[in-house]
Amino acid sequence: MTDLTITDVSEKYYLKLDTLRYYERIGLIPAVLRKKNGNRYYNEGLQKWIEMIVCLRHSGITVEALVDYVKLIEQCDSTLQAREDLLKEQLALLETKKKNLNRSIKRLEHKISLYESGEIKQ
């Protein structure tokens, strides 16, 4: 992985430039390195970090919960259990969402099959 500019990172992870700057400002992304001209650049470690943040955001975790998670990470090993608990809680929420989505998908598939078979007219 090579160093990327903020534009490159924005395109790679489908994030707006303002979102990346916001995440940096609130401490969700550690201090981003800068070149002599002041431009941000993201090394491999920061890219992996952003990938984790994006993954967690896509899972539905709130920015506030992520900020809490980052603060726990910064406290090192003393917070391992708290971090694990936070992720388990998020996983449980996702499992519930998945169950609800699967139920909705099955219901829609059934309804569509009624249209396709012509049973809906009866």
Q: pLDDT digit string (tens) for 52-92?
A: 999 889 888 889 888 888 888 888 888 899 989 988 988 89
> At which residue do the structure tokens 């890219």 appear?
47
In one-letter notation, the amino acid at residue 117 is S
pLDDT band at 51 (very low <50, low <70, confident <90, very high): very high
Residue 56: how many CA atoms within 13 Å on its side-chain side?
Answer: 23
pLDDT band at 122 (very low <50, low <70, confident <90, very high): low
The larger pLDDT score, comparing residue 11 to residue 35, is at: 11
Q: Which CATH class is domain 1-58?
A: mainly alpha
Rounded CA-CA distance 112/49 in Å is 42
Domain boundaries in the chain? 1-58, 77-122
Across the range 15-25, mean pLDDT stands at 93
pTM: 0.72
